[in-house]
Structure 1
Amino acid sequence: MTKKYSRFLPSEKSFNIDNFPYYWVTQVHSQYVHNIDNVLKRYGLDNSRRRILLALNIKQNASVSELSEMIISKMSTTTKIVYRLKDEGFVNTYSCENDARITRVNLTEQGKEMIHKINSLTGAVLEQSFEGLTPLQIEKMIDGLKIIFKNLSS
């Protein structure tokens, strides 16, 4: 690693955790999930189920493996969440016509209603999280995170 990045590396003698970007990424994510979970308790939901519902809102009739990729979760974990949502009446599952090994998932009317409730509740958390930032600062942050993601994915 070049010297220009050395102050951000935990291997440096002068390392300060406050300068480690991944510390802040995980801190922000953990606090976000905590706040979202607290808000969702009102509906008996949690962040994991919210993520599946929102992914299905984007891609109706997704397979369990597609959902797993979308929410970056293990297939077994995603399957458990999907069947829990099914038991709660938020989703339906069915076997793919072309390949019975593939389970597809879609939202029920109850699931669609829950998404509207979720979005109105979680909007306040998002607004709170962006307080003190301009839209341009948020866009630049997103651009930077996309670059880091791309770098890590290659």
Structure 2
Amino acid sequence: MKRGKTWRQAHPTDPAFSPDTSPFFHLSRLVGLYHLRMDAHLKPIGMDVPRWRVINILHECEYAPISRIADLAVIRVSTMTKLIYRMENEGLVETCISQADGRVTEVRLTEKGGKAIDQIRAKAGLIFERAFHDIPDDEIATFMKLTRRIYDNIY
């Protein structure tokens, strides 16, 4: 694969490298801004981005081990464990020891947690619309493909 000027300048060892030429700098700014906007929209309904991630992940499956939720949310297991137990105290999730492996704690949404999904997704939808209102479907698909590929390369 031929490496051009853009690739070289994006590489941290290149003398022309700067934050402005770094894709990770821009991704970090994007994710940081997304979290700020989401937290501002979620706070009035008693939610935040980490809770949104957990509820969204559990909405897609009946239950999941804490380690799997942490992996999908890209959060350390110890941090996720603390969050899960806070959410359990809030009545959003319930935990139980896995019958297959007593070392594993499984998590599932409660009725209250399940009901929160529509409210949270409505708030997330506002941010999505603001972010992508002028971006065509094919560019969104390309963006998704590239970010998944980059993630897989790093993972």
State the TM-score, normalizing by the size of structure 2: 0.91
The aligned counterpart of 1:83 is 85
Cα distance in 1 for residues equivalent to 2:76 and 2:19: 29
Q: Deviations over 1:117-149 (max 9, x none)?
A: 100111010110112211111111111112222
Q: Deviations over 1:90-132 (max 9, x none)?
A: 1111111222221111111110111111001110101101122
Q: 1:132 to 1:75 in 2, by over 3 A?
A: same
Q: Deviations over 1:11-41 (max 9, x none)?
A: 3222342221111110100000110000000
Cα distance in 2 for residues equivalent to 1:87 and 1:103: 16
Secondary structure of the residue aligned to 1:11 is coil
The aligned counterpart of 1:124 is 126
Secondary structure of the residue aligned to 1:115 is helix
The aligned counterpart of 2:28 is 26
Cα distance in 2 for residues equivalent to 1:17 and 1:70: 28
- State the AA in 2 paired with 1:145: T
Secondary structure of the residue aligned to 2:12 is coil
Secondary structure of the residue aligned to 1:92 is strand
- State the AA in 1 paired with 2:45: Y
Give runs of ≥4 in structure 1 deviating > 6 Å.
none
- C-alpha RMSD of matched pairs (Å): 1.6
- State the AA in 2 paired with 1:83: Y
The aligned counterpart of 2:116 is 114
Aligned length: 153
Q: 1:102 to 1:16 in 2, by over 3 A?
A: closer
Cα distance in 1 for residues equivalent to 2:113 and 2:50: 14
Secondary structure of the residue aligned to 1:94 is strand
The aligned counterpart of 1:103 is 105
- State the AA in 1 paired with 2:56: L
2:51 to 49, 55, 76: 49
Deviation at 1:3, TM superposition (A): 5.0
Cα distance in 2 for residues equivalent to 1:68 and 1:97: 20
Q: Which runs of 5+ in 1 are unaligned?
A: none
Secondary structure of the residue aligned to 1:106 is strand
Secondary structure of the residue aligned to 1:104 is strand
Percent identical across equivalent pairs? 27
Q: Which runs of 5+ in 2 are unaligned?
A: none
- State the AA in 2 paired with 1:89: G
Of stretches 72-81 and 8-17 in structure 1, the one that deviates more from structure 2 is: 8-17
